[in-house]
Amino acid sequence: MIAIHYHVGMRYSFGQAEAFYWVARLGGFRAAAQHLNLSQPTVSLRVKELERILGGDLFDRSGYRPVRTALGAAIYTDVERLLTHAEHVQRRSKGALPDLGPLRIGAADSFAARILPNLLAALALRHPGLQVDVTVDFSTRLEQLLLDRAIDIAFLSQPRVHERITIAPLWPIDLVWVIGERMKFEGETATPESLVGLPIFTNGPPSGLFTTIHLWFAAHGLRPQRLNTCNPLTVIARLASAGTGAALLPREMIELSGPDLSLRVLEADPPIPAHHLCAIWWEGEASTEYAYLARLAQEIAAQG
């Protein structure tokens, strides 16, 4: 059992608790300072002041990275809840959505192209005062941004399971191999053997498409020889349309990439498992509002 001794007459500040949390969360004083937009000495001072108030060290600083002591581990969850509640209180004071705003949305490429414009339009109509900040990136990067609390809700594919993170499956994403119509290619079936030597355009690691491509080839003991990475998916579709290589794309991105594309959709053998578009957010007092956003996105998708 950890005994916490408070110095009489002294109270910790929100800034001290916040500094401790982000040092523990990000694994270093420099990373915490960058996240909080403070100098590293300021973050260090705030943590030391909190340690003085609590009467013990919160971090073991003897190694390369600070490691939480028993006292630091004992208060971590409570401090995290404190910061979550403080963020909720701040949002309530802003108005906008019933319990939400400003709202930080992360969107994967396909979601941003297909759903995001209509989602933002619906939010603007229903909640005119809402401020929205949008980040469009790979799903894996969005997932990390959410874990770091840099965004509030992410619409992405293939999220991993994390403690205290809600995952709401929204719809499947059908993946297809495409090539340019002018490209010389025999037949209408894409196999690992027929594509292994071709240039393949895809998102870079650690994207879900990059991983799926490698797994598809690896199941046949092969490794793609000419992977070319770039971003976003609309550009990848156009590169394939130019007739210089193949691409694995969400089927919906073919239409969204423009009417002037000249693409052949190939049947994959073996079939490629569908990805799943999900919404994810931290469990907490704003869960109802994030679930509302996920349902709104589903309604927009159902309307086509």
Say which CATH topology domain 14-92 has. Arc Repressor Mutant, subunit A (1.10.10)
Which CATH superfamily does the domain covering 95-172+276-302 fall into?
Periplasmic binding protein-like II (3.40.190.10)
Do the domains 175-273 and 95-172+276-302 match in fold? yes
Please report the pLDDT score of residue 218 as a whole number: 96
Q: What are residue 271's phi and psi, to 5 degrees?
A: -60, 150
Q: What is the pTM of this model?
A: 0.67
> Quick check: helix, strand or coil at residue 75?
helix
Q: Inform me whether the pLDDT recorded for 60 exceeds 60.
A: yes
Task: Look up tokens 């969850």; give the residue.
Answer: 77
Burial of 10 (0-12, 13-18, 19+ CB in 10 A): exposed
Please report the pLDDT score of residue 5 as a whole number: 47
Which DSSP string corresponds to 88-138? HHHHHHH-SBTTB-SEEEEE-HHHHHHTHHHHHHHHHHH-TT--EEEEE--
Mean per-residue pLDDT, 70-99: 72
Please report the pLDDT score of residue 126 as a whole number: 84
Q: Considering only CA atoms, which of 35, 68, 72, 30 is closest in space to residue 50?
A: 72
Domain ranges of the chain: 14-92, 95-172+276-302, 175-273
Mean per-residue pLDDT, 32-44: 90
Average per-residue pLDDT for the chain: 88
Say which CATH topology domain 175-273 has. D-Maltodextrin-Binding Protein; domain 2 (3.40.190)
Please report the pLDDT score of residue 8 as a whole number: 43
pLDDT digits (tens, 9 = 90+) for 234-277: 899 999 999 889 999 999 888 777 777 889 999 999 999 999 99
Instruction: Identify residue 268 by its one-letter amino acid code.
Output: A
Q: Which of 142-166 are b and which e, b meaning 16 or more Cβ less than 10 Å from the residue's Cβ?
A: bbbbbbebebbbbbbbbbeeeeebb
Q: What are residue 268's phi and psi, to 5 degrees?
A: -85, 135
